[in-house]
A and B are shown apart, each in its own frame.
Chain A
Amino acid sequence: MSFWRSDERAYSGLAKLLHWLSALTVVGLFFLGLWMVELTYYDEWYRKGPDLHRSIGLSLALVTLLRILYRLTVSYPGPLASHPPLVVWGARVVHLMLYGLLLVLFVSGYLITTAKGDPIGFFGLFEIPSLISGIPNLEDRAGEVHEIAAFTLMGLAVLHALAALKHHVLDRDDTLRRMITRGKS
């Protein structure tokens, strides 16, 4: 088992790293987003906040797309033998929704900035052009979707974390452990 490739027995070092980095980034972007929209013209971070939010968001979008591709092509540890069918099903649904909501956030965020034809910048290095414009109030509708998806994602993330803790503390099984180390096997 290499650092790069997971198999049925264990998550690779890369998979685990990307998981935790993503989690930190998602939480960070959420609170940055909440904070930055309260800033006024005369706050130092009025422009820096959204600039960072967009650029980090684009980075996360790329990483997440790679993670999804990875997950679709490489085998990885499945449910534990001790997981009852409801838990297996529940985990699958929540994980799917986590990925799905992330994609919704990436697309809606992109659409806000580019709704009138302006490109979206990446750390001042290059710009990604607008693809969809000319739809009245697209920025407003995309903004509403972005906000709702963000709060929903955070709610599910909390659920996801609590479930992991439940497995670790109450069931005392490998579920959380294997996302941190090699697990018992």
Chain B
Amino acid sequence: MKKLIAGAMAASILSLAAQVQAADYAIDKKGAHAFVQFRVKHLGYSWLYGRFNDFDGEFTYDEKDPSKNKVKVEVKTESLDSNHAERDKHLRSADFLDTKKFPTATFVSTGYKPTGDNKAELTGNLTLHGVTKPITIAVEHIGAGKDPWGGYRAGFEGRATIKPDDFGIPISKKLGPASEEVELFLTVEGVRK
């Protein structure tokens, strides 16, 4: 009887520990609870928003030690969508993203530095248009917990600004100096594996 109780206690302590250890999550691609969006100035007169519809990724989330958090996302560049067929065709062409030559863009994180209040600086390498450069994403951990369907989920949102010219995309030459910077909006919800 004592062994049984001891065994049960050990098991429950272990399961408690499992909940707060680092865990791997798969981005909920099937339920589309993740979004890769961007905005860029049009002529300096308005913001143009677009998104990438096809991407996938995973992340490690450690509730106890967030500095251990990691993320990897792969985006199919051909899935660019700004709600305009001719514009999207042009953006995918060799004039800009050259999606035939560079069908994927990836981000692989190298560090996660909490800056307090569920916020952090996520550093990593962005490979876009065949060029890899380090970028920093300002991240906010939105929340985590059980879902009503037997899973455990965690979500993050990040913003970063990049200069496509740095990646060999001649955006300021093609669209003008007001379009030099592109802001990225990344939201992911992952289901614990």
Contacts and interface: CB of A to CB of B under 8 A. Distances in A.
A135 to B, nearest CB: 11
A42 B176 contact: yes
Interface residues of A, number: 16
Contacts of B175: 41
A49 interface: no
Contacts of B53: 136
A116 B84 contact: yes
A143 B89 contact: yes
A145 interface: no
B86 A113 contact: yes
B86 A139 contact: yes
A37 to B, nearest CB: 9
Interface in A1-21: none
B89 A140 contact: yes
Given A41-B176, A42-B176, A140-B92, A114 B85 contact: yes
A126 B83 CA distance: 22
Interface residues of B, number: 14
A40 to B, nearest CB: 6
Interface in A123-149: 136-140, 143
Looking at B53, B89, B174, the one whose CB has the most chain A CB atoms below 10 A away is B89
Contacts of A114: 85
Contact of B78 (A42, A112, A115, A140): A140
Contacts of B54: 136
B180 to A, nearest CB: 14
A174 interface: no
A96 B54 CA distance: 41
Given A136-B79, A140-B78, A140-B92, A116 B85 contact: yes
Contacts of B121: none
Nearest to B54: A136
A139 B88 CA distance: 8
B176 A112 contact: no
Contacts of A116: 83-85, 88
A118 interface: yes
B79 A139 contact: no
A50 B87 CA distance: 12
B4 to A, nearest CB: 57
A137 B174 contact: no
Contact of B86 (A41, A42, A112, A137): A112
A137 B176 contact: no
Contacts of A42: 176
8 contacts: A40-B174, A41-B175, A114-B85, A115-B85, A137-B79, A139-B86, A139-B89, A140-B92
Report, nearest first, the 10 A-B pairs whose CB atoms are least far apart: A115-B85, A116-B85, A139-B85, A139-B89, A143-B89, A140-B89, A137-B78, A41-B175, A40-B174, A140-B92
Interface of A: 40-42, 50, 112-116, 118, 136-140, 143
Given A42-B176, A112-B89, A118-B86, 5 more contacts: A113-B85, A118-B84, A139-B85, A139-B88, A140-B89
